[in-house]
Structure 1
Amino acid sequence: MERVHVLQKHDQIVSGIDWSPRSNRIVTASHDRNSYVWNQEGPEWVPTLVILRLNRAALCVQWSPRENKFAVGSGAKTVCICYYEQDNNWWVSKLIRKRHDSSVTSVAWHPNNILLATTSTDGKCRVFSTFIKGVDTRDSKAGSSSDSKFGEQIIQLDLSFSWAFGVKWSPSGNTLAYVGHNSMIYFVDDVGPSPLAQNVAFRDLPLRDVLFVSEKMVIGVGFDCNPMVFGADERGIWSFVRFLGERKSSFSGSKYGSQFSEAFGKFYGQSKTGVSNDGIDPSRSRGGVHENCINCVVSLGEEGSSRTLRFSTSGLDGRVVIWALENQEDLSEYL
């Protein structure tokens, strides 16, 4: 592969990057507490400074579905919702403050462009309204979320008692998934006053990020250096399926437990059924294509599609890997 451009502006670690497909803009966030929006002008990428007003590192960033704003999570326990001011030719931000008790590790936009989910090292997942007058429009499709005030907390999920990472919405926006540093993945349906929560515990190393490739299938990546596949059956119960780099094992069902959590995971540490360690193969080598922790997974599917057949992963080994699901026959029932 040939290096085409180098975007040089940050002077510390670049901790987040996102590329908007329609407007062809790149947004970056860094430990230097700054964020830039890059526009391609001829052969060059020109940066525009974003006014974040942070006193700690920016940790993650993501464009909204309509690409008229983006969210930046930070170590200052705040989330910046950024939008463009035409008169001043710069990007400004409104801050969601005093809601998180620790660093914001991940952000994810709901398909309606209003709701934003966040995870934090305080172990909680939260959903906020980001409606900004003059930027967003009142949309009947968005339901009651467009009637909420900016920064209003819709729900707080206390499912994990460890650091939380990698939150994502399903293509329809009906299901929310995020992971904990305790080797668990959480699924929440009907996000609102009466959510239905479910979690899956697994015996391997923790995950760092997740991706919905369909309404019934999620890819999880993390410290095991190999993407993990989770699927939902016809009853909507999620479970571990297999590692993407290996065939489905006959004992996978005995290694992993799935359970509903009626009271936001109050008894999340207890398996629905007894789980033994007999099926665990201690000699199984970690990883496959990747040789270190995978910390990012990105869809390569068409915009607006309800399923993704190709996605990419990147890790601390410096590798970017493209994965295809077309020929995975045993996974077709989930796609």
Structure 2
Amino acid sequence: MAVIAVHQLAQCITCHAWSPDQSMVALCPNNNEVHIYRLVEDKWEKVYVLQKHDQVISGIDWSAKSNRIVTASHDRNSYVWNLEGSEWVPTLVILRLNRAALCVQWSPKENKFAVGSGAKTVCICYYEQENNWWVSKLIRKRHESSVTSVSWHPDNILLATTSTDGKCRVFSTFIKGVDAKDSKKGTSSDSKFGELIVQLDLSSSWTFGVKWSPSGNTLAYVGVGFDCNPMVFAADERGIWSFVRYLGERKTASSGSRYGSQFSEAFGKFYGQSKHGVNNETVETSRTRGTVHENCINCITPLVSRGKVIRRFSTSEFVI
């Protein structure tokens, strides 16, 4: 497993998502716009700019079946974008939040989407055919801090969340008239909307990133982060997970002669000051080299191929 390609489409990317056929990528260059790029003759060309939000866009998801884009922003709103002809037409979704929206994801059936927020709430949005608009229903008073990520279970009802309170939770999002009732007893459809199914407190730090396995039997979430090198973990026959390798090998610059060592140290301090605006005392004397990213990775998006097997994924970074 290795880096296949590197493309600098913006100086800073807050989030990104791929089109269903993976021929286009939508990203936010740390502002209130969505830029959509298409690969044309081995070059990425900007083909659309979606403008409707008032503040930085913090979440993008591109539906695989209906080809719709949903965005969430610090302006506390979401938009659902439909491609009509050659134009992306936005539909406002009022989330009823008093804090920024931080993340968003379509459900597997794409009849709902979830938005995590800085208001300690999760918005479950669904479409009302009678009124021809999107409605949001809130899961309140369950999180103790901002909701950083959301992930749908394959059954389209259970939703996992992570938060800066250090916990991972699973909720029921069953909505009458939207979700079908399962005839079997003891299934997720028996739970009421907003019911807390399980709460995991295994991290001593903020939790970022959560994902269900394709079968829905395993849940993974991240309790550390802010690194610039993706890490690969794998499970053995017993189901025990362990670290395998970094995708970009870390290489420390060789010290060489004493003069070279002093020069490298001085240059490292200068590099840190000029790029990040910090003083000498906060700069490490040796920095890692050989990694694709120079800043923390804030978004990882899988690229599905050969059925449901993930062969590739993309990453983007946020410049602090």
Same fold (TM over 0.5): yes
Within the candidate set 49, 52, 77, 2:120 is matched to 77
1:299 alignment partner in structure 2: 302
User: What is the rounded CA distance, in whole Å, between the counterparts of 1:15 and 1:116 in structure 2?
Assistant: 19
Instruction: Supply the distance in 1 between the matched residues of 2:186 and 2:48 (Cα, whole angstroms).
Output: 42
Q: What is the 5 A alignment of 1:316-331? A: 316=318
1:166-315 equivalent positions in 2, closer than 5 A = 166-181=209-224, 207=225, 223-246=226-249, 285=288, 288-302=291-305, 305=308, 307-315=309-317
Q: CA deviation at 1:134?
A: 0.5
Task: Return the alpha-carbon distance in structure 1 between the equivalents of residues 223 and 238 of structure 2.
Answer: 24
Residue of structure 2 in register with 1:49 after alignment: 92
Q: 1:161 aligns with which of 204, 211, 226?
A: 204
* Alpha-carbon distance between aligned partners in 2 of 1:141 and 1:68, rounded to the nearest angstrom: 22
> Which structure carries more relative contact order (alpha carbon 8 Å, separation 6+)?
2
SS at 2:71 equivalent: strand
User: How many angstroms apart in 1 are the aligned matches of 2:223 and 2:249?
Assistant: 24
TM-score by length of 1: 0.69
Query: TM-score when scaled to structure 2?
Result: 0.72
**Partner residue in 2 for 1:146:** 189
User: What 5-or-longer segments of structure 2 have no aligned partner?
Assistant: 1-43, 251-284
1:68 aligned partner: 111
Corresponding pairs, count: 243
Unmatched 5+ residue regions in structure 1?
182-206, 208-222, 248-281, 319-335
User: Over the residues paired in the alignment, what is the CA RMSD in angstroms?
Assistant: 2.0
Q: What is the Cα deviation at residue 14 of structure 1?
A: 0.2
The counterpart of 1:29, out of the listed 72, 86, 104, is: 72
Contact 1:83/1:93, CA 8 A, preserved across alignment:
yes
Query: Is 1:58–2:104 an aligned residue pair?
Result: no
Q: Deviations over 1:37-76 (max 9, x none)?
A: 0000111100001121111100000000110000000011
Q: CA deviation at 1:317?
A: 5.0
- 1:156 CA displacement: 0.7
Supply the distance in 2 between the matched residues of 1:111 and 1:145 (Cα, whole angstroms). Answer: 11
CA distance in 2, matches of 1:150, 1:106: 19
| Percent of pairs with identical residues | 82
The answer to whether the 8 A contact 1:226-1:286 is kept is no
Give the superposition deviation at 1:287: 6.0
Looking at structure 1, the residues matched to 242 and 133 of structure 2 have their Cα atoms a distance apart, in angstroms, of: 46
SS of the aligned residue for 1:146 comes to: helix
More moved, 156-165 vs 286-295: 286-295
For residues 185 and 49 of structure 2, the distance between their equivalents in structure 1, rounded to whole angstroms, comes to 38
Deviates more, 1:27-36 or 1:172-181: 172-181
Q: Structure 1 segments of 4 or more deviating over 2 A?
A: 139-143
Residue 304 (structure 1) shift: 6.3
Shift of 1:139: 3.0
SS in 2 for 1:6: strand
How far apart in 2 are the matches of 1:111 and 1:303?
19
Aligned residue among 150, 153, 161 for 1:107: 150
> Equivalent residue for 1:11?
54
